A and B are shown apart, each in its own frame.
Chain A
Amino acid sequence: MKNKKLFSVIFLLAFQLLPLRFWVNCKSFLDTIYFSAYDLELQIIDLIHKDASVPIFVARFFHNKVTQFALDVYKRYTHFLDIGFFASFITFVGIFGMLLGIWYYLNSKKKDKRIGLIILLSFVIPFIEVLFNPVLPFTFKVILIIIPFQVLSAYGHYQFIKKKRSKLITTVYLILIIISIIWIFFLPDAVYKYCII
């Protein structure tokens, strides 16, 4: 019985890797995803120019490096939190697994620190990508980003399969798999919205 559950989780994780077929064609994420100090300078200059009618201290209160940096990084980072991005990266099955993972972690009385760390990494790794754009092969970067997502969703799937009735499990996953297949194979441009080929 336990083996059956494990096999189901492995099958789902393997399914979640299907979109990688498209991602390996990419050279990099879109430029808009990456933070640029030069671009930040230009943004601040442009914003201050529009403040000709207000006192300079007011202009600097709103348009300074700290504020603009925070706004700019936030803007770029939210690309990674986009539901369209996740759907094209780890499929709807993966999104469901990740949400379940977070749900079961937050609801568990005795928190597993390893899962907490995985959740943290899921959010931190894209942040590092946005901020530093490390010089690494793109495929390696994709794998690096996908690992915590996969682990988190594996935890979520396993808990769900362990706790719910098999009829419900089959129905939910069947629907998600069908939607994911249609999304991946009929909308490959959904992937290329986030990367450069």
Chain B
Amino acid sequence: MKIYKILLFSILIISFVLRFYELSTNPPGLYIDEVSIGNNAYDILTTGKDEHGESYPLFFKAFGEYKMPVYVYMTSLSIGLFGKNELAIRLPSALLGSLTILVFYFFVRKLLGLSKEKIEPRIEKIALLSSFLLAIAPWHIHLSRGGFEAVVALFFFMLGFVLFLYFFENKKLLFIGLSIIMFSLSIYTYNSYRIIAPLSVLFLGILYIYIHPKEKKNILGSFILFGVLIFPLLLFSISPEGSQRFSQTSVFNEVEANSILDKLIQYPLAVFRNYLSYFSFHFLFNTGDGIGRHQIHNFGPLFKWQLPFLLAGFFALIKIKEKHAKWIILFLIFVSPLAAAFTLPSPHTLRSLTLVIPFTFLISLGLIYIYERLYKFRKVIFLVFFLAVLYELLIYRHFYYVHYPQVNDRDWGSGYKEMLYKASELGKDFDYVIFDSKFNSLPYYSKFYTGNKNPLMVRSKWKKPKEWRDKKVLYVRPYYGPDAYENIIYEISLPHDKSFIYAQFWSL
């Protein structure tokens, strides 16, 4: 028993190291949504109002897409502790991302050991292996290191699942109450869970009634509690503001269908096609969704060596004795990409993050299954497995710390920070500091890094007006090609790509 605890503790250490090491500097920069979260969180902390002047809002207007509140409020706490910087914005995600490993361990343990008097060593092994694989999963590590609400939502979602499983066993109302609160929190953290969480509560409720047919009362009570907790969100969802995000990203926007009959065929087909894209091996093991913020170039959300074990895991799942475990995992596989299937682009690594849970479980199940079947060759298997895991983990780490900042720095808004700090420093000797409008996200970055939410912005390739001829102007613009260099007083490159001139500072 003690050895399991030591192993679990070691896995937790690994998960924290992989998620926190150089968190402030890699990913390089802050992407625009992180900045928006940071600005709103800071305003809430200092004034009690969001950037649009609303007091303690339940939904943050932000760019008009209306962000869910939990991550913003958590970030305001971390900004209070660590100041307005990259670490504070990413802390909730990295911290709860690391703790998800612990929750996942208890999830697997409870899932396979439900109603058993004693947890068998085999179950302990699968639980430990699953949590280890999640700790090193590129899908989960990568997203935990950015200010992504989905990671925090997954933590609450999984905690909700674990607590519900505890309720299955000991029938204490406290567990189901807490579980419902966790499921509700996941909804108030990330949009995908507006669909995933209610379906999960319904599924768990039905499963519970199926196992304990005489105990419907508690389940009905939990449904009512859930309804009450998500009622404000339901009201919000049917408002134009609440459906804003979906109408921006809806898959139906791109379907060309005129007649009703056409729509009846094309709409479900578009969703089905999107849905299937989440089970593409090319997506899972090679490319991911192609969005630079979501994975490393040429790496999928899962490790390449895991493919055969994932397939073996499916096979092992069908043969598994614990029926409820089978149904719960199959349900998770079914429901995880459901919300994402209604949106574009597809596949989308972030919106389908929940899939990492059943897939990681299946991979560990597959590993154990193959290990047990080929017990005679266990030493060889262990050696091959160990080397494959280690080598791909090392390659991943190398790509993440050496290549990723060079290749994907522009995906993360890299350069804004350096440019704004330099403009503040040089601007002391000028009457005006003005920025080229090509830096279109600058007001948000400026507010975050310097506190100035209204920097002077001018159209591209602006010329100094006559009425300003006595004024000293610092004009900050992107590199537009070779030009009259006598007016350029400074140039900055991207921190990780010195060959690319990010901004030129012109003295006019």
Interface residues of A (CB under 8 A from B): 47, 50-51, 53-54, 58, 62, 67, 71, 74-75, 78-79, 81-84, 87, 103, 106, 179, 182-183, 186-187, 190
Whether A50 pairs with B403 at a CB distance below 8 angstroms is: yes
Interface residues of B (CB under 8 A from A): 265-266, 269, 272-273, 276-277, 279-282, 285-287, 298, 304, 307, 315, 318, 394-395, 398-399, 402-403, 406-407
With A and B bound together, what is the CA distance between A53 and B403 in angstroms? 10
Residues from chain A with a CB closer than 8 A to the CB of B402 are 50-51, 53-54
Whether B273 pairs with A190 at a CB distance below 8 angstroms is: yes
Whether B265 pairs with A186 at a CB distance below 8 angstroms is: yes
Given contacts A78-B281, A182-B269, 6 further A-B contacts (CB under 8 A): A51-B403, A58-B398, A62-B399, A75-B298, A84-B273, A187-B273
Whether B315 pairs with A78 at a CB distance below 8 angstroms is: no
Whether A82 pairs with B281 at a CB distance below 8 angstroms is: yes
Chain B, interface SS category:
helix
Whether A79 pairs with B282 at a CB distance below 8 angstroms is: yes
Which of A53, A83, A103, A179 interacts with B280 by CB under 8 Å? A83
Considering the complex, give the chain B residue whose CB is closest to the CB of A72. B298
Whether A187 pairs with B269 at a CB distance below 8 angstroms is: yes
Whether A87 pairs with B265 at a CB distance below 8 angstroms is: no
Residues from chain B with a CB closer than 8 A to the CB of A79 are 282
Which of B265, B298, B307, B406 interacts with A182 by CB under 8 Å? B265
Which of B266, B272, B287, B403 interacts with A47 by CB under 8 Å? B403
With A and B bound together, what is the CA distance between A83 and B141 in angstroms? 26
Residues from chain B with a CB closer than 8 A to the CB of A183 are 269
Residues from chain B with a CB closer than 8 A to the CB of A87 are 276
Residues from chain B with a CB closer than 8 A to the CB of A62 are 394-395, 398-399
Closest Cβ–Cβ distance, residue B284 to chain A (whole Å): 9
The 5 closest A-B pairs by CB, nearest first: A81-B281, A78-B281, A75-B286, A82-B280, A78-B282
With A and B bound together, what is the CA distance between A187 and B271 in angstroms? 13
Considering the complex, give the chain B residue whose CB is closest to the CB of A74. B304
Closest Cβ–Cβ distance, residue A126 to chain B (whole Å): 12
Residues from chain B with a CB closer than 8 A to the CB of A82 are 280-282
Closest Cβ–Cβ distance, residue B158 to chain A (whole Å): 26
Whether B269 pairs with A74 at a CB distance below 8 angstroms is: no
The contact sample of 29 A-B pairs, CB cut-off 8 A, is A50-B403, A51-B403, A54-B398, A62-B394, A62-B395, A67-B395, A71-B304, A74-B304, A75-B282, A75-B286, A75-B287, A75-B298, A78-B282, A78-B285, A78-B307, A81-B307, A83-B280, A83-B281, A84-B273, A84-B276, A84-B277, A87-B276, A182-B265, A182-B269, A183-B269, A186-B269, A187-B269, A187-B273, A190-B273
Closest Cβ–Cβ distance, residue B17 to chain A (whole Å): 20
Considering the complex, give the chain A residue whose CB is closest to the CB of B319. A107
Whether A74 pairs with B286 at a CB distance below 8 angstroms is: yes
With A and B bound together, what is the CA distance between A82 and B278 in angstroms? 10
With A and B bound together, what is the CA distance between A174 and B254 in angstroms? 29
Considering the complex, give the chain A residue whose CB is closest to the CB of B283. A82
Closest Cβ–Cβ distance, residue B311 to chain A (whole Å): 9
Whether A71 pairs with B298 at a CB distance below 8 angstroms is: yes
With A and B bound together, what is the CA distance between A71 and B299 in angstroms? 10
Considering the complex, give the chain A residue whose CB is closest to the CB of B398. A62
Residues from chain A with a CB closer than 8 A to the CB of B281 are 78, 81-83
Residues from chain A with a CB closer than 8 A to the CB of B269 are 182-183, 186-187
With A and B bound together, what is the CA distance between A182 and B267 in angstroms? 12
Residues from chain A with a CB closer than 8 A to the CB of B398 are 54, 58, 62
Closest Cβ–Cβ distance, residue A104 to chain B (whole Å): 12
Residues from chain A with a CB closer than 8 A to the CB of B286 are 74-75, 78
With A and B bound together, what is the CA distance between A50 and B273 in angstroms? 37
With A and B bound together, what is the CA distance between A31 and B286 in angstroms? 17
With A and B bound together, what is the CA distance between A106 and B315 in angstroms? 9
Whether A103 pairs with B315 at a CB distance below 8 angstroms is: yes
Considering the complex, give the chain A residue whose CB is closest to the CB of B403. A50
Considering the complex, give the chain B residue whose CB is closest to the CB of A79. B282
Known: A74-B304, A78-B281. A83 touches B298 (CB 8 A): no
Residues from chain B with a CB closer than 8 A to the CB of A190 are 273
Residues from chain A with a CB closer than 8 A to the CB of B266 are 186
With A and B bound together, what is the CA distance between A43 and B403 in angstroms? 13
Which of A51, A58, A83 interacts with B276 by CB under 8 Å? A83
Considering the complex, give the chain A residue whose CB is closest to the CB of B395. A62
With A and B bound together, what is the CA distance between A67 and B399 in angstroms? 14
Closest Cβ–Cβ distance, residue A111 to chain B (whole Å): 13
With A and B bound together, what is the CA distance between A74 and B276 in angstroms? 21
With A and B bound together, what is the CA distance between A179 and B272 in angstroms? 10
Considering the complex, give the chain A residue whose CB is closest to the CB of B497. A50
With A and B bound together, what is the CA distance between A190 and B273 in angstroms? 9
Residues from chain B with a CB closer than 8 A to the CB of A50 are 402-403, 406-407
Residues from chain B with a CB closer than 8 A to the CB of A54 are 398, 402
With A and B bound together, what is the CA distance between A186 and B267 in angstroms? 11
Known: A78-B286, A182-B269. A84 touches B304 (CB 8 A): no
Interface-centre pick from A62, A106, A187 (highest chain B CB count, 10 A): A62
Whether B279 pairs with A83 at a CB distance below 8 angstroms is: yes
Residues from chain A with a CB closer than 8 A to the CB of B318 are 103
With A and B bound together, what is the CA distance between A82 and B394 in angstroms? 27
Residues from chain B with a CB closer than 8 A to the CB of A51 are 402-403
Residues from chain B with a CB closer than 8 A to the CB of A182 are 265, 269
